[in-house]
Amino acid sequence: MRSLHVAYCAVCELHTMTKSDPRYHRVLVWDFPTRVFHWLLVAATSVAFITGSILPQWWLGVHRGAGYVIVGLLVFRFVWAAFGSEFSRLTNFVYSPSETLDHLRGILLLSPRHYLGHNPAGAAMIFALAFVLCGLVVTGLLTEAGEEKIGPLAGITSYAVGHTAKTIHAILVGILAVMIAAHVAGVIAESLLTRENLVASMITGRKALPERAHLPAPRPPRWRAASASCVVVIGVGALTLALLGRLPPKGVPAAAVNAAYARECGACHSAFHPSLLPAASWQKMLGTLDQHFGEDASLPAPVLAEIAEFLATHAAEAWDTEIGIRFRTVTANGPPQITATPAWLRKHAPLPEAWFARKSVGSKSNCSACHRDAASGRFDDSKIFVPKE
Ligand code: HEC
Ligand code: HEC
């Protein structure tokens, strides 16, 4: 490995020199693309963090956008690690464990060695950050695909995978927050110890070097190889995701509408989405339509048969969606009623009774009064609007 690990001081001259000392010379360490990458990553990660954990759920679109920006930035940085200028190259900041330990010991003894490029602690942090950020974008894509059935991976991701991915995503966010705090603390500590403003050098790209320090000729960036690689990787990646995105969402039956069902069972109330009850409950209900919540909702045999078949094939068990999975569980011997399922009660029991009595709601079963997407069976949090009266 070619090394430009410029560790140029035992008893460092920088410690004894003042900034105006003519023996200083400033060399370009962080090339322009690396600096832009660094600060864009700071911005995109902050936006993702704020929209994902502080702002309400309808910011998820922005959160998703920030995730895609991070994907693009990571692709660029991996390419730049191969073709960038000297100090951006991977081979410039791969250190042995013993070197890393030496450096950490130096920090503890308050006299770390100077490194012109990434020092061993910083390099370890970069690998860990890259790993966690990759984990975050992958689990983010899997969460939206599995749980919400949207995004490029929706066709190949089950609800269970999405649900697990969501848990891992949350854990990684915690780890990332700790790592960012450690990174910032490390930068401040090293800046103080080495009297080198590391934040400023990530803006100007330059670092001070004692004139005596020997600097081997740094490798220049290979622009053409870098841009060609970025185009290829992003092009192939985007094409793959676009093709995958054309697959129908996994576990979402295609035609979930039936004219007879919509007409007959939407006559007195809006037709409930079939995924809101398991097949056995629908069957039980259809067997007692003459005494349907105090109404006679009986149907001619052929129509009843068609509706029965539609509900049997589109009941909760047929769906790999959040609703289908949660609402397929019913209380043993409980009434075949959506508003009696544990899933419904868990979400609505804490709400004030008065909300359901409001004029434009009228009843607990008037789902679409509060859920604008009730007809699609999605029941997205961002589509809940409880009428004021
Ligand atoms: C003649 C009018 C009428 C027709 C037709 C009708 N229903 Fe109902 N349905 C009602 C009434 C009234 C309620 C009770 C509503 C309430 O409690 O707010 C009800 C309640 C329900 C509920 C329970 C909602 C809850 O609170 O969990 C389901 C499910 C349901 N109906 C399904 C159907 C299906 C399936 C059909 C078609 C086979 C159908 N209904 C046809 C009048 C009707
Ligand atoms: C008075 C308005 C109102 C009515 C009517 C209503 N809901 Fe809700 N629903 C809410 C509110 C508010 C929440 C959010 C509760 C929370 O998260 O604390 C909610 C949450 C939900 C959720 C969970 C959404 C999620 O992603 O966490 C589901 C599913 C749901 N409702 C289904 C239904 C169904 C099915 C019906 C009809 C049988 C219905 N709701 C009727 C107000 C209503």
- Residue 86 near ligand 1, beta carbon < 6 Å: no
CA 358 / ligand 1 centre spacing (Å): 19
Better pLDDT: 136 or 59 = 136
* Residues in CB range of 336: below 8 A, 6 or more apart: 277, 281, 282, 284, 285, 330
- Residue 25 near ligand 2, beta carbon < 6 Å: no
Q: Which has the closest alpha carbon to 88: 178, 180, 194, 222?
A: 222
145 found inside a domain:
yes
Residues 53, 183, single domain; the answer is: yes
210 found inside a domain:
yes
Q: Which has the closest alpha carbon to 371: 272, 253, 267?
A: 272
69 found inside a domain:
yes
- Residue 314 near ligand 1, beta carbon < 6 Å: no
Q: Name the residue range of residue 360's domain.
A: 259-383
CA 94 / ligand 1 centre spacing (Å): 67
CA 272 / ligand 1 centre spacing (Å): 9
Judged against a pLDDT cut of 50, whether residue 3 lies above it is answered with: no
CA 301 / ligand 1 centre spacing (Å): 18
Q: Atom 26 in ligand 1: which residue has the minimum CA distance?
A: 365
Residues 276, 346, single domain; the answer is: yes
Residues 137, 272, single domain; the answer is: no
202 found inside a domain:
yes
Summarised one tens digit per residue, pLDDT across range 249-279 is: 999 988 778 999 999 999 999 999 999 999 9
Count of CB atoms situated within 10 Å of the CB of 381: 11
In contact, 166 and 148? CB cutoff 8 Å: no
Give the number of domains in the chain: 2
Q: Which of 245, 268, 286 is the last residue of a domain?
A: 245
pLDDT of 2: 42
Which numbered ligand comes closest to the C-alpha of 288?
1
For residues 192 and 284, what is the distance between their CA atoms, to the nearest angstrom?
74
Long-range Cβ contacts of 225-232 (<8 Å, 24+ apart)? 225/82, 225/83, 226/79, 226/80, 226/82, 226/83, 226/84, 229/79, 229/82, 229/83, 230/75, 230/76, 230/79
Residues 55, 121, single domain; the answer is: yes
Summarised one tens digit per residue, pLDDT across range 75-129 is: 999 999 999 999 999 988 999 999 999 988 988 888 778 788 888 988 999 999 9
Phi-psi sector, 218: left (phi>0), alpha (psi -120 to 50), beta:
beta
**Ligand 2: which of 372, 384, 386, 389 to mutate, judged by most atoms within 8 Å of the beta carbon?**
384
Which numbered ligand comes closest to the C-alpha of 374?
2
pLDDT of 194: 77
CA 297 / ligand 1 centre spacing (Å): 8
Token duo for residue 8: 């140029």
Q: Considering only 96-110, 134-148, 353-367, which range has the smallest mean pLDDT?
A: 96-110
Ligand 1 atom closest to Cα of residue 276: 29
Residues 266, 162, single domain; the answer is: no
252 found inside a domain:
no
4 found inside a domain:
no
Q: Which of 245, 275, 305 is the last residue of a domain?
A: 245
Residues 200, 75, single domain; the answer is: yes
303 found inside a domain:
yes
Mean pLDDT calculated for residue range 335-342: 94
Residues 225, 277, single domain; the answer is: no
201: domain CATH number is 1.20.950.20
Residues 153, 61, single domain; the answer is: yes
In contact, 192 and 358? CB cutoff 8 Å: no
**Ligand 2: which of 265, 365, 371 to mutate, judged by most atoms within 8 Å of the beta carbon?**
371
Q: Considering only 88-92, 135-139, 286-290, which range has the smallest mean pLDDT?
A: 88-92
Q: Atom 38 in ligand 2: which residue has the minimum CA distance?
A: 365
Q: Which has the closest alpha carbon to 4: 213, 216, 196?
A: 216
Judge residue 193's burial from the number of C-beta atoms within 10 Å of its C-beta, 0-12 exposed, 13-18 middle, 19 or more buried.
middle
Count of CB atoms situated within 10 Å of the CB of 302: 9
For residues 315 and 256, what is the distance between their CA atoms, to the nearest angstrom?
10
Residues 117, 240, single domain; the answer is: yes
- Residue 60 near ligand 2, beta carbon < 6 Å: no
Phi-psi sector, 9: left (phi>0), alpha (psi -120 to 50), beta:
beta
Query: What proportion of the chain, given as a percentage, has pLDDT over 90?
Result: 70
For residues 156 and 245, what is the distance between their CA atoms, to the nearest angstrom?
9
Residues 234, 272, single domain; the answer is: no
In contact, 152 and 145? CB cutoff 8 Å: yes
For residues 152 and 66, what is the distance between their CA atoms, to the nearest angstrom?
16
41 found inside a domain:
yes
* Residues in CB range of 50: below 8 A, 6 or more apart: none
Q: Which of 245, 270, 298 is the last residue of a domain?
A: 245
Residues 151, 279, single domain; the answer is: no
Count of CB atoms situated within 10 Å of the CB of 206: 14
CA 156 / ligand 2 centre spacing (Å): 28
Which numbered ligand comes closest to the C-alpha of 338?
1
Q: What is the CA radius of gyration of the chain?
A: 30
Residues 275, 226, single domain; the answer is: no
* Residues in CB range of 317: below 8 A, 6 or more apart: 278, 279, 324, 328
For residues 79 and 230, what is the distance between their CA atoms, to the nearest angstrom?
7
